Amino acid sequence: MTTTASSRPDTAASSVPSVHHGRFAGKSVVVTGAAQGIGRSVAERIAAEGGEVTLVDRASLVHEVADGVRTAGTTVPNIPVHSVTADLETFDGALAAVEAAVASAGRIDVVVNNVGGTIWAKPYEHYTPEEIEKEVRRSLFPTLWMCRAALPHLIAQESGTIVNVSSVATRGVNRVPYAASKGGVRAITTALALEAAPHGVRVVATAPGGTEAPPRAVQRGPLPASDQEKAWYRQIVDQTVESSLMKRYGTLAEQAAAICFLASDEASYITGTVLPVAGGDLG
């Protein structure tokens, strides 16, 4: 869960990441949901650590973000940065994104599946059937489809890593469809790891807790408007802070650090694992 500055509690941690120079040198990394938030932070860090990165998002903003990552420079000169627009709620979109990344970089070594996020925040009995389906399409299917689209490439080269982004909101209030979707992401991770390991492919995940972020450039859905909707959202914020042993939200840098560790060769003996990054909240 990410919140904007207007709704989040203050955090105590620095937002400045500790860069591991050259950690992704020679690696081709695909990051989805990369136009903003956690995905953008991960893409920036991968590039700063020498990786050739492909940013994927359905918002055209991703191209502007990629330009910023490219001009910011990396620890390895002339590392390419690519961007792709695709609707990852469909298999065709996921397949197109993977094929574009392979065409640009020649191979894929790491896929970070970051697309997802609560659209509505309210008790389950207030969701319409259409809203429930939209939540599942938004937060489950992009990971399901990207794993399916990327896996044949990783199996063929007998190496690679998939890092999925789940959530500790699998145990949280006022977002049951989102919780169900992120529970599915956990299941994809643990089940696919069994199948992929014989092919030299690792499948891991993080489970972020509440994470502060700048105001979203592209909204997931309608913002809380009525007093009741604002109160339901406030319940999520309060429960998130209370469930964290550290009693605060995390930063984008803290989330990116965990994802990049699991994506790197430093985590070469870790697979089938979901790492909570939520100040002690295990979800």
Query: So which residues are the catalytic ones?
Result: 178
Element holding 7 (H helix, E strand): none
Which residues lie closer than 8 Å to 184 by C-beta, 6 or more apart?
A: 140, 143, 144
Between strands 201-208 and 274-277, the pairing is parallel
Can you read off the two tokens belonging to residue 41? Answer: 């932070």
Q: DSSP assignment of 37-100, as one string? A: HHHHHHHHHHHHTT-EEEEEESSTHHHHHHHHHHHH--SSTT--EEEEE--TTSHHHHHHHHHH
| CA neighbours closer than 13 Å in the CB half-sphere of residue 48 | 17
